């Protein structure tokens, strides 16, 4: 751990995130994270196929304003990054994707660490006004997931003690034909509207418009969750 953080920062690294997702229950022979080098249309052919989700690591200070008009459906599994979760945004982004894509990713009916955590969340939500807050508390209290997060944070190409807290992970994926953005630091899931014929086209437009307006700001990284990519 670094600076006394109970949930230290995870590296934006597809190998690390694939292994972590596998420990939550994802079949990593069928689904893996891969680097996304560009969101320009001519580069889309290099993305995994099928493509399930994107994770973006944005620089600190590049949060977007919350638009109440984009509030997503209450049935979406959204988890708040409460204070005790320190820098757990990588873990939260992966949980957001898996928990909201159970059928597509083949997780329905499987006895996994993710399923066990979601059951804990149901119990924590009982009688609570804000379910996302209760889920955040459940994650902060979950020693098993905390240990898995710590193991993942220790891995990667950069030294954990030098990694700092200069970024924040956000997830983008399709739910019932709409593009959703899930961010543990926002009060609710963001629904950006229909994906239309192409998830990647809609996601690219939203990310570029909302987060990449400054051409001199290059400290973004992107990963895609999809089918295995040949190395």
Is residue 96 annotated as a catalytic residue, yes or no? Answer: no
Report the side by side order of strands in the sheet with 190-194: 32-36, 221-226, 51-59, 167-175, 178-182, 190-194
Out of 89, 96, 121, 192, which one is annotated catalytic? 89
Is residue 89 annotated as a catalytic residue, yes or no? Answer: yes
State how far the Cα of 20 lies from the Cα of 89, in Å rounded to an integer: 13
State how far the Cα of 140 lies from the Cα of 5, in Å rounded to an integer: 12
| Helix, strand counts (H, E) of the chain | 7, 6
Choose among 26, 91, 37: nearest CA to 224.
37
Q: In Å, how far are 20, 27, 43, 139, 144 from 23, measured between CA atoms?
A: 5, 9, 30, 15, 11
State how far the Cα of 171 lies from the Cα of 169, in Å rounded to an integer: 7
The pairing of strands 32-36 and 221-226 is antiparallel
**Tokens matching residue 231:** 């190395």
**Tokens matching residue 199:** 């998830």
Out of 78, 96, 149, 168, which one is annotated catalytic? 168
State how far the Cα of 231 lies from the Cα of 229, in Å rounded to an integer: 6
Q: Which residues are catalytic?
A: 89, 168
């Amino acid at each position: 751990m670094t600076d006394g953080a109970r949930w230290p920062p995870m590296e934006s690294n597809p190998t690390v995130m694939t292994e972590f997702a596998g420990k939550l229950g994802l079949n990593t022979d069928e689904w893996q994270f891969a680097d996304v080098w560009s969101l320009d249309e001519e580069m889309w052919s290099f993305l995994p196929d099928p493509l399930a989700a994107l994770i973006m690591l944005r620089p600190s200070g590049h949060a977007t304003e919350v638009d109440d008009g984009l509030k997503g459906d209450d049935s979406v599994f959204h988890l708040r990054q409460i204070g005790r979760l320190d820098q757990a945004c990588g873990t939260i982004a992966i949980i957001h994707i898996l928990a909201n894509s159970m059928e597509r990713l083949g997780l329905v009916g499987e006895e996994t660490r993710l399923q066990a955590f979601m059951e804990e969340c149901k119990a924590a939500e009982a009688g609570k006004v804000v379910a996302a807050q209760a889920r955040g508390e459940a994650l902060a209290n979950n020693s098993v997931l905390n240990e898995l997060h710590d193991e993942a944070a220790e891995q990667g190409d950069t030294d954990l003690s030098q990694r700092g807290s200069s970024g924040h992970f956000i997830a983008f994926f399709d739910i019932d034909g709409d593009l959703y953005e899930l961010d543990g630091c926002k009060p609710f899931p963001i629904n950006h509207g229909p994906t239309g014929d192409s998830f990647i086209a809609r996601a690219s437009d939203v990310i570029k418009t909302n987060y990449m307006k400054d051409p001199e700001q290059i400290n973004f990284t992107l990963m895609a969750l999809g089918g295995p990519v040949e190395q």
